[in-house]
Structure 1
Amino acid sequence: MIVLGCNGFSRVSEVFAEHFGSVGTEKHYLLGHDAGASLLVDGKLVAAVEEERLNREKKTTDFPFHSVNWCLEEAGLRFSDIDLIAIPWNFSPEVFDEMLAGITSAPMAPAAKLDLIGGMGKLFTEVVSHDAILADFAERTGFTPDPAKVVFVPHHLAHAMTGYYLAGMKDSAFLVSDGRAEVFSSVTGEIRDGRIRVFDESAVGAQHSIGLLFAAITRYLGFVPNNDEYKVMGLSGFARPPAPNPFLEHLVDLHEDGRYTFSRPLETGNPRGLDPLFEEYFGPAQDTLAHRARVAAAAQEMLTVVTNHQLRALEARTDLNHLLFEGGVALNCLNNTPLFEGSRFDDMDVSFGASDTGIVIGAAVHAWLGHPDTAGARRSTPAPVTPYLGPEYDDATIEQALREFGGRVEWTRLNEDEVVDQVAKLLTEKVVIGWYEGRIEHGPRALGHRSILANPRFPDIKDVINTRVKHREPFRPFAPIVLEPDAPKVFEMGRKIRSPYMTFVFPVRPEFHDVIPGATHVDGTSRVQTITDRDTPRLAALLRRFTALTDVPCLLNTSFNVAGEPIVCTPTDALNCFLGTEIDYLVLGDHLVTKAVVRTQERPV
C-alpha cells in the first residue's frame, strides 16, 4: 500500500494576511506552516521532505508541490500509483460548527465577532475544508484525487502517530501540545496495537493554548512568534524566574484531569491581546538582555509547571510505561529532561518530527494503520527510521555545481579516510566548517548531514559563528555532538542513554566545563545530540579521529544556514551559503572546498 502524506495550503497565507493581520512579524501566525510531504510504501517510510528546503521559503505554508513531486520521483511512482492521500488536518463541517460556537460565546464586541466569523468562513470555504483541500491538490498537481482515497487525520492524532511510528510502534502513552489544531491545543491518550485513544477530559481548548501563550510572550519580547520561541528558551538561562512568578500567580489556573485555563483567554483575532497584561507584570518591553531574560525565565518556568501538571494526570490514567511527547511545545528541549526525570515512565521519546514538520509522516501512518487491508501491520515492528529522508545529490551533481562556481572556489577530491583525517586536523584549529553529505535530514534541526561544525574547546567560537556566519543574536547557544557511549562521561544524562535528535538538554559535568566551553550554555547545560556508527558513520569517524587528536570528546554542531533561511539542501545552496559567510572550509560530499584566493596583478614599473 502506498500512502502520500501532504501538508500545506496554496492560499492560507493570503487569507490570513487579509483577515487576521498575518504579515511582517505575524507572518507565521498560520495553519499549514512547515509544509511538506512524505511517502509510506507498505509501511516503510521511504521519503519525506519539507517544502521550505526546496522552495527556499522558511516555514512556508504553500502547497507542497515540490515535496510531493520529489517523493514520488524518489520512489519511481506516479500519482495513479497512490492508494491513499493523508492530510494532517480534519476541518469537517462539525469542527467548523464548533469553532463558530466558540466565537459566538466569546466575550467580544458584536462587530468583532462578525469580522472574525467572516474571516473564519473564508478560511474554511477557500482553504481548509475537505472540498477546498481536494481542489487545491488537483489545481497544483494536475491530478484529481478520488475523495474516497483521501484521509483527513485530526492534527493532534497525526502528531501522536508521528511519535509512535518513529519510536518503533511500541504501545505508548502520549502528550501532544502545540499552538492549536482544529479546536484543541493539547491532548493526552494512549496508542495500543496501533489504535489511538484520546482522553477527552484532558483536552485543552485553543483559547488556553500554552503554545500560543509562549508565542505571545515571544512577540512581546520583540521576536517572531511561532518561529523564535527557541530564542526565549535560550534567554531563560541568563536569569532566574521571579518569585512569585506572575504567570503562575495571576494567569494560569490548573484543574483536575491535567487541564489548565487562563484567567484571560487568548483572542483568536487579536494576537497582541495579552500585551497589556505582560506590561503589567514586567513593564513595557525593553530590548535589553536583563529584561528579556527575566521574562523568558518566567515563561520557561510556567511551561514546565503546566506540562508537569498534564503529565501527572496522564501517569494516573495509563498503565503504559513508555511516553511520547509531540507537538511544537515538545521542541522546548529545556523542559523535556526534567519532565521525563520527574515522571514514572521508563523512557520518553521526542521525535525529530515533533513539530509540524513531522505531521506528514504521522498522517500517513494513521491512514495506513486505519485501512482494513493493513490490520496485521498493527502488530508489526517497523525497521528503525532514520531522519535522513530527503534529497541526496551524487558526485556528478556536486562537481557540476563546483564548476558553476569556478573562479570563486577551489576544491580537492578525497577518499573516505582522507575526508575524516584532513577535516579532523583542520578542526583542531579555530575554524568553521560546512559539513554536507548524503540525504538531508527531516525536521527543524541539523543532525549531521547539513551541519556547521567547529571545535568547542575555544570559548569564543560561539561568538565567531553567531556574528560572522549565522548573523544572529550573540546569546544563542550551540549544540554538541558526542558519541553515544561517551555521552554519560561528559553530560549528566540521568535516566536517558541517548539523545539522537537534540530534543533533550543535560548539565555538562563540571570537569568538562573547560573542555567544551563553546558548546556549554551560560547555565552549564548543553542540548546534546548523540551519534552512532550505524546512524552517521562518517560523522562518527570524524568525531573519533578529532577526539584522538585533541582529547575533546565533542564537536560543536549547528544548522548549515544563516538566520532567516532554510537549511541548505542542494550543493548550490551549500556553496552560496559558504561564499556568503565566513565559513572557512566546506566538505561537499567527498570534496574539500576552499574560497579561491583573489590575486591582484602587479603593474609593471
Structure 2
Amino acid sequence: MIVLGSNGFSRVSEFFSERLGATGVNKHYLLGHDAAAALLVDGRLVAAVEEERLNREKKTTDFPTNAIDWCLREAGITFEDVDLFAFPWNWSAQVRGEIVDGIRASPLPEAAKDRLVDTMADLFDQIVSPEAMLADFEARTGHRPDPAKVRFVPHHLAHATTGYYLAGMKDAAFLVSDGRAERFSTLTGEIRDGRITVFEDTVTGSEYSMGTLFSAITRFLGFVPNNDEYKVMGLAGYTAPPTPNPFVDRLLRLHDDGRYSFAKPLQTDNVRSHDDLFEEYFGPFEDTLAYKARVAAAAQQMLNVATAHQVRHLERRTDLDRLLFEGGVALNCLNNTPMFEGSRFEDMQVSFGASDTGITIGAAAHAWLNHPDTDPADIHAASAPVSPYLGPSYDEAAIEAALRGFAGRVVVSRLADDEVVEQVAQLLTQKVVIGWFEGRVEHGPRALGHRSILANPGFDDIKDIINTRVKHREPFRPFAPLVLEEQAPKIFEMGRKTSSPYMTFVFPVREEYRDRIPGAVHVDGTSRIQTLTDEGTPRLTALLRRFTDLTDTPCLINTSFNVAGEPIVCTPTDALNCFLGTEIDYLVLGNHLIAKTD
C-alpha cells in the first residue's frame, strides 16, 4: 500500500494577509506553515521533505509541489500508483458549524462577530474545505485524487500518530499541544495497537492555547511569532522567573480535570489582545536584555506549570508507561526535561517531527494504520524507530557539477573516506567554523548532522564568532553540543534519560565539564544536546571520536547550516552559496574539502 501525505495551501498566505493582517512580523500567523510531503510504502517511510528546503522560503505555507514531486521520483512512482492521499486537516461541515457557533457565543461586538463569521466562511469555502483542498491539489499537480482514496486526518491526531510512528509504534499515552488545530489547541489520550483514544474531557479550545500565548509573548518581545519562540527560550536562561510570577499567579488557571485556561481568553482575530496585560504585569516594554529575560523566564515557568499539570492528570488516566509529547509546544526543550523527570512515566519521546514539519508523516501513517487492508503483521514489520534522514541526497556527480559553477572562487581537495574524518578533526582543533554536508537531508526544524555547522566548543569566544560572523543572529543565542551517547551521562546530568538524538531535551552540564566546553554551555549552565551513535550517524560519530582523541574535548558544536531567515541548506549549491556568503572557514561536501580562494 502506498500513502502520500501532503500539507500546504496555495492561497492561505494571501488570504490571511488580506483578512487577518498576517504580514510583516505576523507573517507566520497561518495554517499550513511548514508545508511538506511524505511517502509510505507498505508501512515504511521512504521519503519525506519540507517544501522550504526546495523552494527556499522559510516556513513556507505554499502547496508542496516540489516536495510531492521529489517524493514520487524518489520512490519511482506516479500518482496512479498511490493508494491513499492523506491530509493532516479535517475541516468538516461539523467543524465549520462549531466554529461559527463559538464565534456567535463569544463576547465580541456584533459587527466584529459578523466580520469574523464571514472570514471563517470564506476560509472554508476557498482554502480548507475538503472540496477546496482537492481542487488545490488538482490545480497544482494536474491530478485529481479519487475521493475514495482520500483521508482527511484531524490535525492533532496526525501529530499524535507522528510521534507514535517515528518512535517505533509502541503503545503510549500522548499529549499534543500547539497553537491550534481545526478548533482546539491541546488534547491527551492513548494509542494502543495503532488505534487512538482521545480523552475528550481534556480538550482545550484555541482561546486558551499555550502555543498561541507563547507566540504572543514572542511578538511582544520584538521577535517573529510562530518562528522565534526559541529566542524566548534562550532569553529565559538569563534570569530566574519573578516571584510572584504574574503569568502563573494571575493569568494561568488550572482545573481539576487536567485542563487549564487563562483569566483573559485569547482573541483569534486580534494578535495583540494581551499586550496591555503584559505591560500591566511587567511595566512598559523596554528593549533591553534584562526586561526581555524577565518576561521570558516568567513565560517559561508558566508553560512548565501548565504542561506538568496536564501530565499529572494524564498519569491518572492511563496505565501505560510511555509518553509521547507532540505539537509545536513540544519543541520547547526547556520544558521537556523537568516535565519527564516530574512524571511517573518510564520514558518520554519528542520526535524530530514534533512541530508541523512532521504531520504529513503522521497523516500518512494514520491513514495506513486505519485502513482495513492493513494487516497486523505489516504493522509489526514496520515497528522500528525511524531515522530523521529522509530527504534528498546528492551523489559525487551532483557535487562535482555544483563545484564547476563556483570555479575560481573555491579551492577543492578530493579525500578518501578516512581522510575526511582525519583532516576535519585536525582542522577542528583550531578556532575554525566548518560547514558539514552529507547524505540525505534531515527532517524537522533542527540540523541533526547532515546539514550542520561544526566548531570546537573549547574556545570561550566561539559562540560569538558563529553568531556574529556566520549566523548573523543575536549574541545571546546558545549552541547545541554533539556528544557520544555512551559518554553523555558522564558530561551532562541527564536524570532518567539515556539519549537525546533530536535535540529535544536540555540538561545541566556537570560542573567539571563546563570549562572544557564553554562554547556549548548556555549562561544558565545547561545544554540542548544531540547524542550520536555509530548506527545513526557513522561518519559524524567517527569524526567526534577522532576529535576527542586529539583534544580531550568530548563534544562538538552543532548548529544548522543556514543563516538567520533562511531554511537549512538542501543542495550542494545551497551549501556553497551559504559558505561563500558567510565567514565559514571550510566546507565539507561529501568527500570534498573546500576552502575559499582568498
Shorter chain as normaliser: what TM range? Answer: over 0.9
Kept in 2: contact 1:391–1:439 (CA 8 A) = yes
Q: What is the CA-CA distance between 1:118 and the residue it aligns to? A: 1.4
Tell me how far apart the structure 2 counterparts of residues 451 and 163 of structure 1 sit (CA, whole Å).
Answer: 24
8 Å contact kept, 1:36–1:64: yes
Q: Which residue of 1 aligns with 2:517?
A: 516
Where does residue 342 of structure 1 map in the other structure? 342
SS in structure 2 of the partner of residue 224 of structure 1: coil
Aligned to 2:243: 243
Whether the aligned pair in 1 keeps the contact of 2:471 and 2:562 (CA below 8 Å) is yes
| 2:587 pairs with 1:586 | yes
For 1:379 and 1:315, locate their aligned partners in 2 and report how far apart those are by CA, in whole Å.
27
Instruction: Give the aligned partner of residue 529 of structure 2.
Output: 528
Shift of 1:252: 1.0
Match of 1:356?
A: 356
Residue number in structure 2 paired with 1:22: 22
Q: Is the 8 A contact 2:436 2:451 kept in 1?
A: yes
Structure-1 residue corresponding to 2:199: 199
Deviation of 1:131 after TM superposition, in Å, equals 0.2
The answer for the alignment partner of 1:39 in structure 2 is: 39
Q: What is the one-letter code of the residue matched to 1:25?
A: V
Instruction: State the one-letter code of the partner of 1:549.
Output: L
Q: Is the 8 A contact 1:15 1:122 kept in 2?
A: no
After superposition, the C-alpha distances for 1:442-498 in whole angstroms (9 at most, x for unaligned) are: 000000000000000001100000000000000000000001001011101110000
1:440 deviates by 0.3
- In structure 1, the partner of 2:261 is 261
In structure 2, distance between residues paired with 1:284 and 1:149: 55
Shift of 1:272: 0.3
CA distance in 2, matches of 1:380, 1:453: 36
Displacement of 1:375 = 3.9
Is 2:240–2:297's contact at 8 Å kept on the other side of the alignment? yes
Separation (CA, whole Å) in 1 of partners of 2:379 and 2:200: 23
1:498 matched residue in structure 2: 499
Provide the secondary structure at the position in 2 that maps to 1:338: helix
Q: CA deviation at 1:185?
A: 0.1
Question: How far apart are the structure 2 equivalents of 1:121 and 1:517?
Answer: 54
- The AA in structure 1 aligned to 2:248 is L
In structure 1, what is the Cα distance between the partners aligned to 2:221 and 2:209?
18
Matched residue, 2:597? 596
1:114 Cα deviation from its structure 2 partner:
1.3
1:383 & 1:103 partners in 2: Cα distance?
Answer: 44
Structure 1 distance, partners of 2:522, 2:172, is: 32
1:432 aligns with 2:427: no
> What are the equivalent positions in structure 2 for 1:46-445 lying under 5 Å apart?
46-376=46-376, 377-445=378-446
Judge which range, 523-532 or 369-378, deviates more: 369-378
| Alpha-carbon separation, structure 1, partners of 2:381 and 2:495 | 31
TM-score (norm 1): 0.98
2:467 aligned partner, one-letter code: N
| Worse-matched range after superposition: 355-364 or 372-381 | 372-381
- Provide the rounded CA distance (Å) in 2 between the counterparts of 1:531 and 1:141: 39
Kindly provide the CA deviation profile for residues 43-74 of structure 1, in whole angstroms up to 9, marking residues without a partner as x.
00000000000000000000000000000000
RMSD: 0.7
Letter of the aligned partner of 2:461 in structure 1?
D
Q: CA deviation at 1:384?
A: 3.1
Distance in 1 (CA, whole Å) between partners of 2:241 and 2:494 is 24
Cα distance in structure 1, aligned partners of 2:60 and 2:348: 30
Q: Is contact 1:26-1:225 (8 Å) kept? A: yes
1:358 match: secondary structure = helix
| In structure 2, distance between residues paired with 1:88 and 1:256 | 31
CA contact (8 A) 2:5 2:363 kept: yes
- Structure 1 runs, 4 residues or longer, greater than 4 Å off: 378-381
What displacement does 1:378 show? 4.5
Q: Give the match for residue 485 of structure 1.
A: 486
Secondary structure in 1 aligned to 2:257? Answer: helix
Cα deviation, 1:268-311, whole Å, max 9, x if unaligned, reads 10010100100101122221100000000000000000000000
**Residues in 1 aligned to 2:31 and 2:507: alpha-carbon distance in whole angstroms:** 33
Q: How much has 1:382 moved relative to structure 2?
A: 2.1
Q: In the aligned structure 2, how far is the partner of 1:541 from the partner of 1:58? A: 32
Report the 3-state secondary structure (helix = DSSP H, G, I; strand = E; otherwise coil) of the residue aligned with 1:575: helix
1:428 deviates by 0.2
After TM superposition, give the deviation of residue 263 of structure 1 in Å.
Answer: 1.1
Amino acid paired to 1:459? D
1:209-244 residue CA offsets vs partner (Å, 9 max, x unmatched): 000000000000000000000000010000111111
Percent identity between matched residues is: 72
| Superimposed CA distance per residue, residues 162-210 of structure 1 (whole angstroms, 9 cap, x where no aligned partner) | 0001111000000000000001100000000110000000010000000
Q: How many angstroms apart in 1 are the aligned matches of 2:293 and 2:320?
A: 38
SS at match of 1:462: helix
